[in-house]
């Protein structure tokens, strides 16, 4: 009788173990087959830099079984449109939202609410709210410091330096600005400030051309890549018009799309600070999927690199500037 009872117990234990193994395989199989729907919301129009970021996101999506929806805005830093897109993606049952904030102040309440129910990862942004939100970002403060050092290391005298203040509602631009100002304030350079008009009727290019023609300064620094491109194009236009219009103002900024690289190569731009947009998109999707899967996620901080006309063709900098160089 005892032997019979033991045999029954063994059989029950084996059956239980078998059921556990089946359940375990089923859970792992479900996780492997799950498709993660990730929404990526930018803070402006689609441009070359954002296309590079999208490529990184698509690469990660192919590795982690994710579908990505890449959403750009009708104009730069449109807070209302960004909020509408957030609401839309929540109703579309997105598993996680990656977002480059148009305004770290105006969107703080919205993001705090969303993050309670839906994983949020910030792209090249930061926000000051009670519950920390993970981010994938360039070290933007360090980028500003590095641009300031580039100016200081190459100047032979104290200069008049114009700082373009557009975009400070965006946390990445604000951090670059803070890093630059904190460093330059320790020097004897004269800092001047320029707020360009954001009105559609007053294009950045025409504003830049007038400023370059009628202002006597040594350098201009701009932290938004679109504005940098417009000032660079205005400078190239003036220099093509003849010696009377020639502009020798040095131009520094952040960005690395093909137009900016061309302006750097032609010495219309003196130096740029670049961030790796591909890595930002790639790590953003990876981190979003990890958050959905309740895995531990740390911030991913990517260092920027300052490149000038003289060192842009070093092997390391070619890899950063030209995607076809391996």
CA distance 138 to 265: 24
Same domain, 54 and 91: yes
Tell whether 84 and 62 lie within a shared domain. Answer: yes
Instruction: Give domain status of residue 315, yes or no.
Output: no
Q: How far is CA 202 from the centre of its chain?
A: 26
Residue 248 lies in a domain: yes
Mean pLDDT of 199-213: 86
For the chain, how many structural domains are there in total?
2
Let me know whether 263 and 286 are in one domain. Answer: no
The pLDDT assigned to 322 comes to 77
Q: Is residue 11 part of a domain?
A: no
pLDDT of res. 319: 80
Examine residue 71 and state whether it is found in any structural domain, yes or no.
yes
Looking at the structure, tell me whether residues 283 and 256 fall in a common domain: no
Give the residue numbers spanning the domain of 246: 140-274
Tell the burial category of 64 from Cβ atoms under 10 Å away from its Cβ (0-12, 13-18, 19+). Answer: middle
The pLDDT tens digits for 139-190 are 999 999 999 999 999 998 999 999 999 999 999 999 999 999 999 999 999 9
Statement: residue 264 has pLDDT above 60: yes
Prediction pTM value: 0.84
> Is residue 145 domain-resident?
yes
- Residue 131: per-residue pLDDT: 83
């Amino acid at each position: 009788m005892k032997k019979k009872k033991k045999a029954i117990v063994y059989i029950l234990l084996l059956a239980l173990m078998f059921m556990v193994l089946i359940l375990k395989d089923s859970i792992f199989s479900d996780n492997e087959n799950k498709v993660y729907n990730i929404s990526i919301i930018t803070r402006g129009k689609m441009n070359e830099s954002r296309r590079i970021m999208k490529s990184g996101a698509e690469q990660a999506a192919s590795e982690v079984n994710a579908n990505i929806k890449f959403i750009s805005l009708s104009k730069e830093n449109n807070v209302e449109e960004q909020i509408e897109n957030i609401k839309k993606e929540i109703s579309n049952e997105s598993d996680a939202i990656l977002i480059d904030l148009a305004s770290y102040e105006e969107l703080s309440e919205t993001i705090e609410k969303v993050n309670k129910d839906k994983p949020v990862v910030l792209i090249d942004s930061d926000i000051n709210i009670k519950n920390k939100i993970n981010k994938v970002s360039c070290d933007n403060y360090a980028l500003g410091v590095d641009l300031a050092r580039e100016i200081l290391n190459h100047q032979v005298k104290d200069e008049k330096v114009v700082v373009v203040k557009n975009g400070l509602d965006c946390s990445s631009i604000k951090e670059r600005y803070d890093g630059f100002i904190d460093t330059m304030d320790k020097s004897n350079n004269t800092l001047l400030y320029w707020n360009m008009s954001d009105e559609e009727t007053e294009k950045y290019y025409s504003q830049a051309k007038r400023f370059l023609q009628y202002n006597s300064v040594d350098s201009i620094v701009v932290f938004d890549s679109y504005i940098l491109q417009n000032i660079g194009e205005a400078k190239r236009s003036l220099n093509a018009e003849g010696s009377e219009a020639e502009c020798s103002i040095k131009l520094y900024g952040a960005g690395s799309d093909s137009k900016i690289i061309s302006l750097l190569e032609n010495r219309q731009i003196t130096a740029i600070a670049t961030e790796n947009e591909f890595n930002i998109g790639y790590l953003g999707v990876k981190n979003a999927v990890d958050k959905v899967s309740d895995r531990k996620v740390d911030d991913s901080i990517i260092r920027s690199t300052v490149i000038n006309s003289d060192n842009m063709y070093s092997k390391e900098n070619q890899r950063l500037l030209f995607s076809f160089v391996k």
